[in-house]
Amino acid sequence: MCGIAGYIGKNKIDDITISNSLDLMKNRGPDSQDHKIFTDNNIFVYLLHSRLSIIDINERSNQPFSNNNKTLIFNGEIYNYIEIRNDLLNKGHDFKTNSDTEVLIKAYEEYGQECVHYFNGMWSFAIWDESNECMILSRDKFGEKPLYLYETNHGIYFGSEIKFIQSLSGQKTEINYDMLANYLSLGYKSLNKNNKTFFKNIINVEYGTNIVVGKSLDIKKNKYWNPQYDPDM
């Protein structure tokens, strides 16, 4: 379990806020906390990561992880990363680590957003693609790993916990009393029927979904997977 958080938008985030947010993220990853900042004209990009080291525990696999103008923060595990790694080696990619993190970012380099179709695992990740000037957010097919989104008039915040978004944004988010009432009256089965959360304007990224945020801060959603039922199988 790792923690991810970030922002793409027109506002700068001060160093104290970043430091406090990383401290808050230690509950999801005590082994390493780091961040990277990118600027592109009037757009600022922040990527924060807190690592729980499991695969290739060497610091060379710490995140944010960059390669060829692309930078990744990732929470989860790609179970078939060794098979994908071998395929990428055959396609001419080389590797400096033994991590599924490096496999993920190089699979994105090879296949673009279609890389998720090659993954067997659970994940939420963000990639800042400098070459294409966009942020890619992705959540796994069954929504096992959490990913929340908060859209404002100046940019988009995201994180694997809502409190990370609250810390980064400095906003006192309002309670969504409708969701709270549903939970208290109907129980946990009333949750996750839509992408709403207990806080107004903070949503769940849907399972099996990629989101692309461009420099104009437009949001494009791609539902890359839905469960299929075939009674004849």
Show which residues are catalytic. 2
Residue 81 CA to its chain's centroid (Å): 18
**Sign of the C-alpha dihedral computed for residues 80, 115, 125 and 31 taken in this order:** positive
Q: Which residue has the tokens 């990009």?
A: 45
Q: What angle do CA 125, 130, 133 make, to 5 degrees?
A: 90
What tokens were used for 168? 């980064």
Non-local (6+) Cβ contacts of 27 within 8 A are 3
SS3 96: coil
Please choose, from the candidates 111, 130, 110, 147, the residue with its C-alpha nearest in 3D space to the C-alpha of residue 221.
147
**DSSP-derived pairing of the beta strands 43-51 and 32-40:** antiparallel
